Amino acid sequence: MAKHTSVETGSEKRCFGGTVGFYSHDSEATGTRMNFSVYVPPAASEGPVPVLYYLAGLTCTEETFQIKAGAQRYAAEHGLILVAPDTSPRGVGNPGEDEDYDFGTGAGFYIDATREPWSENYNMYSYVSRELPEVVAAGFPADTERQGIFGHSMGGHGALTIALKNPERYRSVSAFAPICNPSEVPWGEKAFSGYLANRSEWRDHDATEIVRAKPLEHHILIDQGMDDEFLEEQLSPDAFEAACRESGQKLTLRRHPGYDHSYYFISTFMEDHIEHHAQALVE
C-alpha cells in the first residue's frame, strides 16, 4: 500500500474490507528508523479520505492501538484512515533510556526535547505533527486537508497539545484518560525535567496551560474512567475542565464509574470518538 520510496512495508492484513499495515522508514526528525501503522478503509479505493492520528501511551508501540482499540470497524464505516506512530525513537543508546517505563524508550511524550543528549533524537512533536503527515500523504490515499488527532494517557496529552498548538492542521481532537496537566504530576515532571532544558518551557507543553491561553474553535471530547488507577496522581481532568471553563473552550468531559485505564475502557468508547472525528472530517 505504501508508495513512498523510503517506506518499507512490514505486513499488511485485510480488516473490515480495508487493510491494516505496519511500516517503517528513516526519520529526519528523530534520526532513527521509525515504525508506524495505518488502517486504510474500503472507501479509500474511491479517492482520498480524511486521516485520524492516534497517539498511544507509555510502554506502547505502533501495534497497540491496531490490536487492542477496536477502531477499524468504525473507521471503515466512516471512511477514515487511522495512523498510529510508535511512542518514541528506539535504540538510541542514551544513558538510562531503557531503565524506566515512564522515560526514554516507549515514553517520548510527543515533545521535542531540548536537553542533551535527548534533543538529538527525541523529537516526537516534530515527527508526529510535521514529518509523519508528509510520509502518509506521499504513500497513502489521504486527504491531508482533513486531519484529526486523538490518543490515550501520555498520547492524550500529545493529542491535546498538538491540536491546541496547530488549529490550522487538525479539525478535531479527543482523548481517553489524558495526562491533562503534566507540569503538576509525577509522570510529567519526570519527562519534562529529563527532556526539557529549562523549566520555563514546561507550560508550552501542558494542555491545561495552553487551553487556558488559547482555546480551539471546535469542541474537545474526553472520556475518563473513574476507577482509573492513575486518575488521582497523574491525570488531572478537573484542572483541564476548569481551564476550559475560564477560556470558553467547548469541552465534553465524560466521567465513567467503574472503568479503569486499560484498552477495555478505550474500546468501550471508541465508537463515540470515531463519530466525534467523523462529524468534523467527513463531509
Our answer to whether residue 218 is catalytic in this structure is no
Direct distance between the N- and C-terminal alpha carbons of the chain, in angstroms, rounded to an integer:
25
Q: Which of 25, 218, 261, 276 is catalytic?
A: 261
Grid cell listed for 27? 526519520
Cβ proximity to ligand LAXINWYW, 55 vs 142, nearer residue: 55
Give the strands of the sheet with 172-176, arranged side by side. Answer: 8-15, 18-26, 33-40, 81-85, 49-55, 142-152, 172-176, 220-225, 251-256
The helix/strand/coil state of 143 is strand
Minimum CB separation of residue 60 from ligand LAXINWYW in Å reads: 5
Which of 112, 228, 276, 277 is catalytic? The answer is: 228
Q: What is the nearest approach in angstroms of ligand LAXINWYW to the Cβ of residue 152?
A: 6
Nearest approach in angstroms of CB 117 to ligand LAXINWYW is 23
Q: Which is nearer to ligand LAXINWYW, 40 or 56 (CB)?
A: 56
- The residue among 57 and 237 lying less far from ligand LAXINWYW, judged by its C-beta, is 57
Please identify, using beta-carbon distances, which residue of 53 and 263 lies nearer to ligand LAXINWYW: 263
CB of 156 to ligand LAXINWYW, least distance (A): 8
Which candidate, 243, 57, 35, places its Cα nearest to that of 158? Answer: 57
Which residue intervals of 108-206 are DSSP H helices?
Answer: 124-126, 132-139, 154-165, 186-195
CB of 260 vs ligand LAXINWYW, minimal distance in Å: 10
Torsions phi, psi of 44, nearest 5? -70, -15
Question: Count of CB atoms within 10 A of residue 126's CB?
Answer: 16
CB atoms under 10 Å from CB of 121, counted, come to 23
Shorter beta-carbon distance to ligand LAXINWYW: residue 22 or 140: 22
Active-site residue among 88, 153, 174, 236?
Answer: 153
Nearest approach, Cβ of residue 148 and ligand LAXINWYW (Å): 20
- For 143, residues 6+ apart whose C-beta sits below 8 A from its C-beta are 48, 49, 50, 51
Residues at the interface with ligand LAXINWYW (CB under 6 A): 57-60, 64, 68, 101, 152-154, 262-263
Catalytic annotation present for 24: no
Please, how many CA atoms are within 13 Å of residue 267, restricted to the half-sphere of its CB? Answer: 12
Active site residue 261: yes
Specify the amino acid at residue 213: A
Nearer to ligand LAXINWYW, 79 or 155 (CB): 155
> Which residues form the catalytic set?
153, 228, 261
